[in-house]
Structure 1
Amino acid sequence: MHDERLPGLRRRGFLTATGAASLGTLALTGCGGSGSEGPDAKGDGTPKRGGRLRAAFAGGGASETLDPHLANLFADAARAKALYDKLADYGADLSAQPRLAEKWEANKTLDRWQVTLRKATFHDGEPVTAADVLYSYRRIADPQQAFRAKASLEPIDLDASRATGQRSIEFVLKRPTAEFPNVLAAFGAYIVPENASDFDKKPIGSGPFRFVAFTPGRSAVFRRYDDYWEGAPHLDELEFVVANEESARVNALLGGQVEYAHELDPTTARAHEGKGQVEIVRLRNSAMQAFCMKTDRAPFDDKRVREAFFLIADRKELIDGALSGAGVIGNDLFGRGYEYYADGLPQRAQDLDRARSLLKQAGAENLKVTLDTSAVAAGFTEAASIFRDQAKKAGITIDVKMGSKDSYWADILDNGTLCCYRSGAMPIEAHIAQRLLTGSTTNATKWQHKDFDALYEQAQSTRDKTERAAVYERMQRRLYAEGGFLIWGFADWIIGTAGTVKGVEAKAPANTLDWARFDKVWLT
Structure 2
Amino acid sequence: MLTASVASAAGAALALAACSPAPAGPSAAASAGGASADGPPRPGGRLRALLAGGGANETLDPHRVSLFADAARAKALYDKLADCGPDLAAVPRLAAGWEPNPGLDVWTVRLREAGFHDGRPVTAADVLYSYRRIADPARAFRARASLEPIDLAASRALDPRTVEFRLRRPCAEFPNVLAAFGAYIVPDGTEDFQAPVGSGPFAFVSFKPGSSLLLRRFDGYWDDAPHLDELEILAAAEESARANALLAGQAEYAHELSPATARAHESGGRIGIVRLRNSAMQGFVMKTDRPPFDDVRVRQAFFHLVDRRELVDGALSGAGEIGNDLFGKGSQYYPAGLPQRAQDLDKARALLREAGAEGLRVTLDTSPVAAGLVEAAGILKEQAAKAGITVEVRVGNKDTYWKDILDGGVLASFRSGAMPIESHLSQRLLSSSTTNATHWRHPDFDDLYGQAQSTADPAARTALYERMQRRLYEEGGLLVWGFADWILGTAPRLRGVAADAPANTLDWARFDKVWLA
For Structure 1 versus Structure 2, the TM-score category normalised by the shorter chain is: over 0.9
Measure, in 2, the Cα distance between the counterparts of 1:328 and 1:112.
Answer: 40
Amino acid at match of 2:455: T
Choose which of 372, 390, 400 in structure 1 pairs with 2:365: 372
For residues 457-468 of structure 1, the aligned pairs below 5 Å read 457-468=450-461
Measure, in 1, the Cα distance between the counterparts of 2:210 and 2:308.
Answer: 39
Which position in structure 2 is the counterpart of 1:171?
165
Which position in structure 2 is the counterpart of 1:146?
140
Q: Is contact 1:177–1:460 with CA below 8 Å preserved after alignment?
A: yes
Residue 506 (structure 1) aligned with residue 499 (structure 2): yes
Q: Is contact 1:265–1:378 with CA below 8 Å preserved after alignment?
A: no
Q: Is contact 2:300–2:475 with CA below 8 Å preserved after alignment?
A: yes
Amino acid at match of 2:102: K
1:137 to 1:27, Cα distance in 2 relative to 1, 3 A: farther
Question: What residue ranges of structure 2 are gaps of 5+ in the alignment?
Answer: 8-33
SS in structure 1 of the partner of residue 362 of structure 2: strand
Q: Is contact 1:374–1:405 with CA below 8 Å preserved after alignment?
A: yes
Residue 485 (structure 1) aligned with residue 478 (structure 2): yes
Which position in structure 2 is the counterpart of 1:113?
107
1:147 to 1:24, Cα distance in 2 relative to 1, 3 A: farther
CA shift, 1:43, in A, is 4.9
Which position in structure 2 is the counterpart of 1:257?
250
1:87 to 1:26, Cα distance in 2 relative to 1, 3 A: farther
Measure, in 2, the Cα distance between the counterparts of 1:235 and 1:27.
Answer: 25
Which position in structure 2 is the counterpart of 1:443?
436
Q: Is contact 2:143–2:182 with CA below 8 Å preserved after alignment?
A: yes
1:353 to 1:44, Cα distance in 2 relative to 1, 3 A: farther
Q: 1:488-520: CA deviations, max 9, x gaps?
A: 010101010111111000101000000000000
SS in structure 1 of the partner of residue 512 of structure 2: helix
SS in structure 2 of the partner of residue 346 of structure 1: coil
Choose which of 413, 418, 421 in structure 2 pairs with 1:420: 413
Residue 75 (structure 1) aligned with residue 69 (structure 2): yes
Q: 1:380-423: CA deviations, max 9, x gaps?
A: 11111111111111101111111111111111111111111010
Choose which of 339, 348, 371 in structure 2 pairs with 1:346: 339
Measure, in 1, the Cα distance between the counterparts of 2:311 and 2:54.
Answer: 31
Amino acid at match of 2:61: D
Which position in structure 2 is the counterpart of 1:233?
226
1:472 to 1:26, Cα distance in 2 relative to 1, 3 A: farther
Which position in structure 2 is the counterpart of 1:429?
422
SS in structure 2 of the partner of residue 519 of structure 1: coil
SS in structure 1 of the partner of residue 412 of structure 2: strand
Choose which of 228, 232, 242 in structure 1 pairs with 2:235: 242
Q: Is contact 1:261–1:497 with CA below 8 Å preserved after alignment?
A: yes
**What percent identity do the matched residue pairs reach?**
70
CA shift, 1:431, in A, is 0.2
For residues 285-296 of structure 1, the aligned pairs below 5 Å read 285-296=278-289
Which position in structure 2 is the counterpart of 1:213?
206
Measure, in 2, the Cα distance between the counterparts of 1:399 and 1:408.
Answer: 17
CA shift, 1:23, in A, is 4.7
Measure, in 2, the Cα distance between the counterparts of 1:360 and 1:105.
Answer: 54
SS in structure 2 of the partner of residue 142 of structure 1: coil
1:123 to 1:440, Cα distance in 2 relative to 1, 3 A: same
1:27 to 1:325, Cα distance in 2 relative to 1, 3 A: closer
Which position in structure 2 is the counterpart of 1:4?
none
Measure, in 2, the Cα distance between the counterparts of 1:26 and 1:447.
Answer: 54
Q: 1:280-327: CA deviations, max 9, x gaps?
A: 000000000001111010000000000000000100111111111111
TM, length-normalised to structure 2: 0.93
Choose which of 81, 102, 109 in structure 1 pairs with 2:96: 102
Choose which of 1, 25, 40 in structure 2 pairs with 1:46: 40
Measure, in 2, the Cα distance between the counterparts of 1:26 and 1:211.
Answer: 31
What RMSD in Å do the two structures reach over aligned CA positions?
1.5
1:268 to 1:129, Cα distance in 2 relative to 1, 3 A: same
Q: Is contact 1:284–1:491 with CA below 8 Å preserved after alignment?
A: yes
1:26 to 1:206, Cα distance in 2 relative to 1, 3 A: farther
CA shift, 1:24, in A, is 4.8
Choose which of 191, 194, 201 in structure 1 pairs with 2:185: 191
Amino acid at match of 2:348: A
Which position in structure 2 is the counterpart of 1:223?
216
Choose which of 111, 135, 139 in structure 1 pairs with 2:129: 135
CA shift, 1:224, in A, is 0.4
Amino acid at match of 1:362: A
Q: Is contact 1:287–1:490 with CA below 8 Å preserved after alignment?
A: yes
Amino acid at match of 2:308: R
Which position in structure 1 is the counterpart of 2:391?
398
SS in structure 2 of the partner of residue 518 of structure 1: coil
Q: How many residues align?
A: 491
Q: Is contact 1:373–1:420 with CA below 8 Å preserved after alignment?
A: yes
Measure, in 2, the Cα distance between the counterparts of 1:332 and 1:41.
Answer: 39
1:27 to 1:279, Cα distance in 2 relative to 1, 3 A: closer
Choose which of 313, 327, 336 in structure 2 pairs with 1:334: 327
CA shift, 1:44, in A, is 6.7
1:77 to 1:331, Cα distance in 2 relative to 1, 3 A: same
Amino acid at match of 2:74: A
Measure, in 2, the Cα distance between the counterparts of 1:162 and 1:25.
Answer: 55
Q: Is contact 1:433–1:440 with CA below 8 Å preserved after alignment?
A: yes
CA shift, 1:197, in A, is 1.7
Residue 87 (structure 1) aligned with residue 81 (structure 2): yes
Amino acid at match of 1:126: R
Choose which of 164, 182, 186 in structure 1 pairs with 2:176: 182
CA shift, 1:45, in A, is 3.6
Which position in structure 2 is the counterpart of 1:11?
none
Which position in structure 2 is the counterpart of 1:299?
292
Amino acid at match of 2:306: A
1:144 to 1:24, Cα distance in 2 relative to 1, 3 A: farther
Measure, in 2, the Cα distance between the counterparts of 1:381 and 1:72.
Answer: 23
CA shift, 1:26, in A, is 13
Q: Is contact 1:23–1:243 with CA below 8 Å preserved after alignment?
A: no
Amino acid at match of 1:169: V
Q: 1:216-252: CA deviations, max 9, x gaps?
A: 1110000000110010000000001110000111111
Measure, in 1, the Cα distance between the counterparts of 2:140 and 2:288.
Answer: 30
CA shift, 1:370, in A, is 0.8
Measure, in 1, the Cα distance between the counterparts of 2:464 and 2:247.
Answer: 50
SS in structure 2 of the partner of residue 311 of structure 1: helix
Amino acid at match of 2:322: I
Q: 1:347-383: CA deviations, max 9, x gaps?
A: 0011000100000000011001111111111111111
Measure, in 1, the Cα distance between the counterparts of 2:2 and 2:410.
Answer: 40
